[in-house]
Amino acid sequence: MFPPVLILLSGFLCHVAIAGRTCPKPDELPFSTVVPLKQSYEPGEQIVFSCRPGYVSRGGIRRFTCPLTGMWPINTLKCMPRVCPFAGILENGTVRYTTFEYPNTISFSCHTGFYLKGASSARCTEEGKWSPDIPVCAPITCPPPPIPKFANLSVYKPLAGNNSFYGGKAVFTCSPHHAMFGSDTITCTEHGNWTKLPECRGESNNSWERRASLCPFPSRPDNGFVNYPANPVLFYKDTATFGCHETYSLDGPEEVECSKFGNWSAQPSCKASCKLPVKKATVIYEGERVAIQNRFKNGMLHGQKVSFFCKNKEKKCSYTEDAQCIDGTIEIPKCFKEHSSLAFWKTDASDVKPC
């Protein structure tokens, strides 16, 4: 039999235990969950702390029982993000990242000449794996280039098997009597295709193509002649040479070429020479003082230019004015006075000091 006092005492103690202080809602711990989560816990109640998906702690989970004191023990649980495998280097590419931890995303790009084979970004998952998989940078290649009609591949070195890498080049030449339209060189682009192919146009029964490289027979210039190959037709790159009869000179190049547009590179003409405009004079020709009657005994050619000396009477000095032979005509400067050998006491303008 228990003494009544003892019964009373134990009853009191029981009451204290049952009515002990409740524990509060536990402090939040970063990246963790508490089960069960309540506003308060009776003494003796258990809670379990564990890390959220994507986070781990060194000692695993933590269990606590609400003590009579109503104060949770110190919780040393530390949840750290999972770390995905190192992915800071992408061959022939670049990775942009802050960290490789959950739940970060990293992104990829490839250097010029390479393309991304795979996704342009990956996320570190709860399991600590990259999703989707890390891509690779694969070299851009172009298939062997198509060859235009009437063309030959003159330079082509495929370095990627039968294909070319980005930046690879191929050079075409046109068959004889065909003219190149566009660039003769094509380049493997970043899209894995080639830049625009050139066209070779030439002999063909298509009138538009014919116009592309057949030139009309060049016409003979007045007072001159033209020579060209004795062929039934004149093609791209055929040449014709021009010349002029005596006392005429060529205005334009001696040789012209049939252009790829079906016209001649130039249309030279023959221009008349000029008769010597004065009997005697000292003039400047190509920077030198010459006696016009000696230097241009046979007249002046079209285009030739001399400077005559004139006198400034007030200032007693000399200056020059130009005269040019244009197709048989030369205008003597009005200020020029031909020196008479009879007037020996007068000084020729060319001997007077310059103004």
Ligand X SMILES: *[C@@H]1O[C@H](CO)[C@@H](O)[C@H](O)[C@H]1NC(C)=O
φ, ψ dihedrals at 160, nearest 5°: -110, 75
Report the nearest approach of ligand X to the CB of residue 113 (Å). 6
CB of 52 closer than 8 Å to CB of 32: yes
* Cβ-based nearer residue to ligand X, 266 or 291: 266
Binding status of residue 152 toward ligand X by CB under 6 A: yes
Instruction: Decide: helix, strand or coil at residue 287.
Output: coil
Binding status of residue 156 toward ligand X by CB under 6 A: no
Report the nearest approach of ligand X to the CB of residue 167 (Å). 10
Tell me how crowded residue 253 is: count the other CB atoms within 10 A of its CB: 12
Closest CA to 254 of 267, 245, 237: 267
- Footprint (CB under 6 A) of ligand X, residues 193-232: 193, 195-196, 204-205
Among 43, 113, 128, 328, binds ligand X (CB under 6 A): 113
Cα 323 to Cα 83: distance, rounded to the nearest angstrom: 91
* Cβ-based nearer residue to ligand X, 191 or 316: 191
DSSP sequence for 138-161: EEPEEPPPP--TTEEEEEE---BT
Cα 10 to Cα 200: distance, rounded to the nearest angstrom: 114
Binding status of residue 185 toward ligand X by CB under 6 A: no
Cα separation values, 40 from 22, 26, 69, 80, Å:
6, 8, 13, 27
- Footprint (CB under 6 A) of ligand X, residues 131-150: 150
Among 263, 298, 340, 347, binds ligand X (CB under 6 A): 263
Binding status of residue 183 toward ligand X by CB under 6 A: no
Cα 238 to Cα 226: distance, rounded to the nearest angstrom: 13
Of the listed pieces 25-33, 123-131, 192-200, 241-249, which binds ligand X according to CB under 6 A?
A: 192-200
Binding status of residue 191 toward ligand X by CB under 6 A: yes
Residues that bind ligand X (CB under 6 A): 91-92, 111, 113, 150-152, 161-162, 175, 189, 191, 193, 195-196, 204-205, 259, 261, 263, 265-266
